[in-house]
């Protein structure tokens, strides 16, 4: 009986709860039916909302804009704000002019079409969020704000409202796309955008806002509870001109050799600054090369012969071999142990190199000589070899600021399952080890900087406006990776590799250059994801000028399929193009008293051009010049001249550029040529780079209005 009474009590309690809940629902329904605006207004009361700050800019080393948040605006209209007879009359009076302005600015509809659209939206009274236009640029927003009705009333009275949609733009895209990276508000940002996200992001603010439609919010007041603080600008170490040259030179080689992908890294020796980083991958769909992955940072590959730098250093550091000790390379073929692949030198078809000094082994890039030397010193104590490589700083990531650094792989112990009887000699020539191109560049940069291993730096300062608010220091990973004698010996060996007229694998690449290079070529079989090897990989790493190192450059070209695959053929020309640019644009790399102007028996050749500029330059350089006006009948000094150079002086011959006829601009710098032609009303098209080689309209021809002239440069 007690149980029945207890159950009944619980049933009545539950019934009462459900009954009260039902009554509450009925009362709420009645309230909405009797006063629908009250329910909406409660939901639309102002609330405190987070206001995202403006994201900081990413700048090049010399201040060029690499990435910035450029605002775009959507324009919507709330017609319900026009609700009094007076407001309706005023709106109808201005409607024709407003409709015409919208038609002129946005198109989409005619003036009558816009008028009907706005009247219908106002008459329906259903939507408080009528879309007018999307993705309006900043300058066009100002124009729209001056339209009739919109410009005469505040947002709350006109009903027209702009909603901002920040968009990240890269003005110089696709240059350095993968290095600059992407900003994704939802996460998964990459590159510099991700590495320095905290500085770029700023601090969010707060503002009272009200919801007008769906989940769309507009400010209830123009004041902030807490104003958002814009992000700081990040000044990167990237030099835009060098990045451009590196990308163009890399693309030219990849196209010429029909390669799979390639990358080029340029470091400043003393700071580790990443001056340029180009990454290009073949897009089979469009048959072109694009920046779709940062191989320089993320792809660890077997370096091949560029790893011989580490092998020879380990030998010298052991104290058991010197640079002048002799290694017998025999006939250029060598089988290190049973079950190992036979090694070959490129000279094996000609009988091999025979006995070579250790420095010559490096100069000739002898696989046999390197393997025999490493085996001579470390056979029987292979762990000492691995320890020697670790002491050089190999096998550990650089710890750069950018995410996605590939993990280098170097055997750490002979007890590893992957260690075999072939590992010692395979590693000596750059197999069974992997490094990213950036890690290779940093290692070579350590030789250039007398043994200091410097962490590559992508940004050197955070800015607010033009003021530096935080400097990012140079980070030295190791003060010295090897002894001074070893570093000096390797510097000498690397210079021998590139010395014109020598026996190095790059002796032809830098012939006739006014600077000396220290570096190493690399050629390796390219491993396949399916196992084994498929194709080759050519590389070159080094620094210049060899006597005063300023820049380290590493280049990798993956699977070239045409016109050769050796590192000296496919990769070294990219190094040379970048070095030519840097040498030509950085006067501090040239010592005049030791440079080409002092040593050459002939004066340097000059372009034709502006007489004032050329004569001023010759006076500054102390060069003798003669202005030849014989038979010209000139009463005044010529404005433009042609220059010819012999052993002792420069002869300047006036070019007739006066009058309206088309002048002879052949041999001129592009700037002078374009200026002369445009003053005659011509449009100028350009092909190539350099000085003007050919012009499509003959000199002396009378120009026609709007005529186009083609200049071919070389």
* DSSP letters for 15-79: HHHHHHHHHHHHHHHHHHHH-HHHHHHHHTS-EEEEEPPPPPPEE-TTS-EEEEEEEEEEEEE-G
pLDDT at 280: 97
Structure tokens at 637: 């000094």
The torsion angles phi and psi of 338, rounded to 5 degrees, stand at -60, 130
- Summarised one tens digit per residue, pLDDT across range 599-640 is 444 455 566 777 777 777 777 777 777 777 654 444 456 677
Tell me how far CA of residue 221 lies from CA of 80, 163, 458, 686, in angstroms. 19, 15, 42, 54
Residues 16, 88: one domain?
A: no
Per-residue model confidence (pLDDT) at position 593? 38
How many domains does the structure of the chain reveal? 4
CA distance 328 to 361: 10
314, 389 in Cβ contact below 8 A? yes
Interval 310-328 mean pLDDT: 96
Structural domain of residue 655, as residue ranges? 602-713
In a domain, 597, yes or no: no
Q: Is residue 551 part of a domain?
A: yes
- 54 and 39 both lie in a single domain: no
What is the CATH classification number for the domain harbouring 417?
A: 3.40.710.10
Q: What token pair was written down for 399?
A: 């710890």
Q: What is the distance between the alpha carbons of residues 55 and 197, in angstroms, rounded to a whole number?
A: 9
The answer to whether residue 639 is domain-embedded is yes
Backbone conformation region of residue 681, classed left if phi is above 0, alpha if psi is from -120 to 50, else beta: left
pLDDT digits (tens, 9 = 90+) for 660-704: 788 888 877 787 788 788 778 788 888 766 777 777 787 777 777
Q: Could you tell me if 330 and 354 are in contact, meaning their C-beta atoms sit under 8 angstroms apart?
A: yes
Domain assignment present for residue 160? The answer is: yes
Residues 6 or more apart whose Cβ sits within 8 Å of residue 544: 515, 516, 517, 518, 550, 551, 553, 579, 583
Identify the domain boundary among 589, 623, 654. 589
| CA gap 58, 42 in Å, rounded | 44
Per-residue DSSP letter, 151? T
% of the chain surpassing 90 pLDDT: 52
295 in the same domain as 222: no
- Within this chain, do residues 442 and 531 fall inside the same structural domain, yes or no? yes
pLDDT, position 634: 46
Q: Give a yes or no: residue 595 inside a domain.
A: no
Instruction: Report the pLDDT averaged over residues 99-105.
Output: 92
The mean pLDDT value for 636-662 works out to 70
Which residue among 233, 253, 276 closes a domain? 233
In angstroms, rounded to a whole number, what is the distance separating the alpha carbons of residues 145 and 139? 10
Q: Is residue 514 domain-shared with residue 576, that is, in the same domain?
A: yes
Q: Are the C-beta atoms of residues 601 and 647 closer than 8 Å to each other?
A: yes
Give yes or no: residues 192 and 299 share one domain. Answer: no
**Residue 239: inside a domain, yes or no?**
no
Lowest mean pLDDT among 77-86, 315-324, 500-509, 691-700: 691-700
Q: Does 397 fall in a domain?
A: yes
Average pLDDT over every residue of 492-508:
93
**pLDDT tens figures, 232-273:** 999 999 999 999 999 999 999 999 999 999 999 999 999 999
Kindly state whether residues 39 and 80 are assigned to the same domain: no
Question: Is residue 167 helix, strand or coil?
Answer: strand
pLDDT band for 556, please (50, 70, 90 cuts): very high
pTM for the whole structure: 0.72
Tokens of 416: 């590893």
Residues 332 and 467 both lie in one domain: yes
Q: Name the domain boundary from 542, 558, 589.
A: 589
Q: Is residue 691 part of a domain?
A: yes
Q: Strand 261-268 vs strand 551-558: parallel, antiparallel, or unpaired?
A: antiparallel
Whether residue 256 sits in one domain with residue 157:
no
305, pLDDT greater than 80: yes
Asked whether residue 429 falls in the same domain as residue 505, the answer is yes
Q: Which residue has the higher pLDDT, 164 or 606?
A: 164
Residue 388 CB partners (closer than 8 Å, separation 6+): 314, 317, 318, 378
**SS3 assignment, position 98:** helix
Question: Could you tell me what percent of the chain has a pLDDT over 70?
Answer: 89
- Give 461-467's long-range contacts (Cβ < 8 A, gap of 24+): 461/234, 461/235, 462/196, 462/199, 462/232, 462/233, 462/234, 462/235, 463/59, 463/232, 463/233, 463/234, 463/235, 464/232, 464/233, 465/233
Shared domain check, 252 and 127: no
Across the chain, mean pLDDT equals: 86
Radius of gyration of the chain (CA): 36
**CA-CA distance, 538 to 565, in Å (whole number)?**
6
Does residue 680 share a domain with residue 568? no
Which element (helix H / strand E) includes 328? strand 326-328
């Amino acid at each position: 009986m007690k149980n029945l009474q207890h159950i009944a009590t619980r049933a009545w309690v539950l019934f009462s709860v459900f009954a009260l809940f039902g009554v509450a629902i009925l009362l709420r329904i009645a309230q909405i039916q009797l006063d629908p605006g009250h329910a909406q207004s409660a939901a639309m009361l102002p609330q405190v909302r987070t206001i995202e700050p403006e994201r900081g800019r990413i700048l090049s080393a010399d201040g060029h804009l690499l990435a910035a948040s450029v605002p775009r605006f959507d324009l919507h209209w709330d017609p319900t704000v026009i609700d009094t007879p007076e407001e309706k009359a005023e709106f109808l009076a201005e409607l024709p002019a407003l409709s015409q302005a919208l038609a002129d600015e946005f198109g989409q509809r005619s003036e009558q079409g816009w008028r009907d659209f706005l009247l219908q939206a106002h008459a329906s009274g259903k939507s408080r969020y009528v879309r007018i236009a999307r993705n309006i640029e900043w300058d066009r927003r100002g124009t729209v704000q001056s339209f009739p009705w919109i410009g005469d009333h505040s947002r709350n009275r006109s009903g027209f409202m702009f909603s901002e949609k920040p968009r990240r733009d890269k003005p110089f895209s696709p240059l350095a796309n993968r290095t600059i990276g992407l900003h994704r508000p939802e996460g998964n940002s990459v590159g510099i955008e991700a590495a320095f996200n905290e500085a770029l992001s700023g601090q969010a603010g707060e503002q009272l806002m009200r919801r007008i439609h769906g989940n769309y919010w507009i400010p209830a007041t123009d004041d902030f509870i807490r104003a958002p603080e814009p992000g700081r600008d990040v000044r990167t170490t990237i030099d835009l001109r060098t990045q451009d040259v590196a990308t163009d030179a890399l693309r030219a080689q990849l196209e010429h050799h029909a390669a799979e992908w390639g990358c080029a890294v340029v470091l400043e020796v003393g700071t580790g600054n990443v001056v340029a980083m180009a990454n290009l991958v073949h897009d089979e769909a469009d048959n072109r090369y694009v920046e779709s992955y940062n191989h320089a940072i993320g792809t660890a590959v077997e370096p091949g012969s560029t790893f011989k730098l580490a092998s020879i250093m380990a030998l010298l550091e052991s104290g058991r071999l010197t640079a002048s000790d002799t290694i017998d390379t025999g006939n250029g073929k060598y089988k290190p142990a049973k079950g190992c692949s036979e090694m070959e030198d490129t000279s094996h078809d000609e009988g091999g190199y025979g006995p070579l000094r250790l420095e010559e082994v490096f100069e000739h890039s002898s696989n046999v000589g390197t393997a025999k030397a490493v085996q001579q010193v470390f056979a029987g104590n292979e762990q000492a070899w691995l320890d020697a490589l670790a002491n050089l700083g190999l096998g550990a990531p650089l710890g750069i600021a950018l995410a996605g650094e590939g993990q280098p792989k170097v055997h750490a112990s002979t007890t590893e399952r992957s260690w075999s009887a072939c590992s010692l000699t395979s590693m000596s020539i750059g197999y069974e080890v992997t490094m990213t191109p950036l890690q290779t560049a940093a290692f070579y940069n350590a030789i250039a900087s007398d043994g200091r291993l410097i962490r590559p730096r992508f940004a050197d300062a955070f800015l607010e406006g033009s003021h530096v608010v935080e400097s990012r220091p140079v980070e030295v990973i190791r003060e010295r990776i090897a002894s001074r004698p070893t570093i000096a010996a390797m510097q000498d060996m690397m210079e021998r590799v590139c010395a014109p007229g020598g026996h190095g694998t790059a002796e032809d690449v830098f012939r006739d250059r006014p600077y000396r290079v220290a570096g190493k070529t690399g050629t390796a079989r390219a491993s396949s994801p399916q196992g084994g090897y498929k194709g080759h990989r050519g590389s070159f790493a080094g620094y210049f000028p060899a006597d005063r190192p300023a820049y380290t450059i590493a280049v990798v070209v993956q699977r070239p399929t045409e016109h050769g695959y050796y590192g000296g053929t496919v990769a070294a020309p990219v190094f040379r193009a970048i070095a030519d640019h840097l040498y030509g644009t950085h006067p501090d790399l040239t010592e005049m008293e030791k440079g080409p102007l002092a040593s050459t028996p002939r004066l340097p050749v000059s372009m034709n051009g502006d007489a004032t500029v050329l004569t001023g330059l010759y006076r500054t350089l102390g060069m003798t010049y003669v202005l030849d006006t014989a038979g010209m009948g000139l009463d005044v000094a010529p404005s433009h001249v042609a220059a010819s150079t012999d052993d002792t002086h420069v002869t300047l011959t006036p070019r007739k550029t006066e009058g309206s006829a088309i002048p002879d601009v052949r041999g001129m710098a592009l700037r002078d040529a374009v200026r002369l032609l445009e003053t005659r009303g011509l449009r100028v098209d350009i092909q190539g780079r350099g000085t003007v080689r050919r012009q499509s309209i003959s000199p002396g021809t009378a120009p026609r209005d709007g005529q186009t002239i083609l200049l071919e440069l070389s």
